[in-house]
Amino acid sequence: MANKVVIITGGSSGIGKALAFEFGKNGYSVVITGRNPQNLSQAEKELQDFKIKAKGIVCDSASEEDTRAMIQEVVDLFGGIDVLVNNAGISMRSMFEDVQMEVLKQVMDINFWGTVYATQAALPYIKNRKGGIIGISSIAGYRGLPVRSGYSASKFAMNGFLEALRTELIGTGVHVLTACPGFTASNIRNASLNSAGKITGETMREEDKMMSAEEVALEIFQAYLKKKKTLILTFQGKLTVFLNKWLNGILDQMVYNTLKKEKDSPLK
């Protein structure tokens, strides 16, 4: 695998950073992106200290122009792309009736459009190497969550897009994996936006009771090697997807009750 190249969007924190270590440990050259240059160079350094060939490129996934330039830079530097991991993402927390439209648009721009921009720009190179595309979606892409309407919508959109793409790419040798983690300890809840678009700055859940980003990254890497189409993580996540399909009638109240228990929940 010495010459294989992976791009991980949002690779400076959480699941993306753990994936960078996982691919790097397995011989890939790793490109990570993010908006904050300090966090990015810190993650780049940590990877390099681990003897991983790593490059951080500042890139806002919500910008098509930035994303196309980032993909071109990777091709110029490394000569091609084997795997793209669409991981960059943010969350939000607000009742729908209170949320500013700009919040929903921002979440959609990063989570969904970011995936679309990077995938289209990288696809010719990935096809050339019969590589893969991984989307880091969520259980919220199978089951809508109250006070996360924009986040759920962005993940449902990702799931539909990736399923269509996977089908379209039959016969090309390109593998598409939709990975849906359950609650995972990371910075995502601290960085989530409130109804006015301000960063929440604190988590509303018990992070130490969640799967670690490293455990999630290992599961995703193994699912990719096994050429799985979808990966659904955590017992709670699997149960939610199962019940939503087969016992949909009772799930609204169950999901409502669960989200209502979060610290300072806007649900009454």
Q: Residues interacting with ligand NAP, by CB under 6 A?
A: 9-10, 12-16, 33-36, 39, 59-62, 87-90, 110-111, 136, 138, 181, 183-184, 186-188, 191, 213
Q: Which is nearer to ligand NAP, 75 or 191 (CB)?
A: 191
Q: Which is nearer to ligand NAP, 30 or 88 (CB)?
A: 88
Q: Which is nearer to ligand NAP, 100 or 190 (CB)?
A: 190
Token pair 């969350």 is found at: 91
Assess whether 28 carries a catalytic annotation.
no
- The upper half-sphere exposure of residue 249, i.e. CA atoms within 13 Å in the direction of its Cβ, equals 0
Residues, the chain: 268
Report the greatest alpha carbon distance in the chain. 54
| H/E run at residue 31 | strand 29-34
**Active site residue: 28, 125, 142, 151, which one?**
151
User: Closest approach of Cβ 31 to ligand NAP, in Å?
Assistant: 12
Cβ-in-10-Å burial (0-12, 13-18, 19+) of 2 comes to exposed
User: Closest approach of Cβ 171 to ligand NAP, in Å?
Assistant: 29
Cβ-in-10-Å burial (0-12, 13-18, 19+) of 93 comes to buried
Measured distance CA(129)–CA(111) in Å, rounded? 26
User: Closest approach of Cβ 177 to ligand NAP, in Å?
Assistant: 14
User: Closest approach of Cβ 88 to ligand NAP, in Å?
Assistant: 3
Are 121 and 68 within 8 A, CB to CB? yes
Q: Which is nearer to ligand NAP, 87 or 178 (CB)?
A: 87
Taking residue 32's Cβ as centre, other Cβ atoms within 10 Å add up to 30
User: Closest approach of Cβ 137 to ligand NAP, in Å?
Assistant: 7
CB burial of 164-175 (b: ≥16 within 10 Å; e: otherwise) equals ebbeebeeeebb
**Which residues belong to the active site?**
151
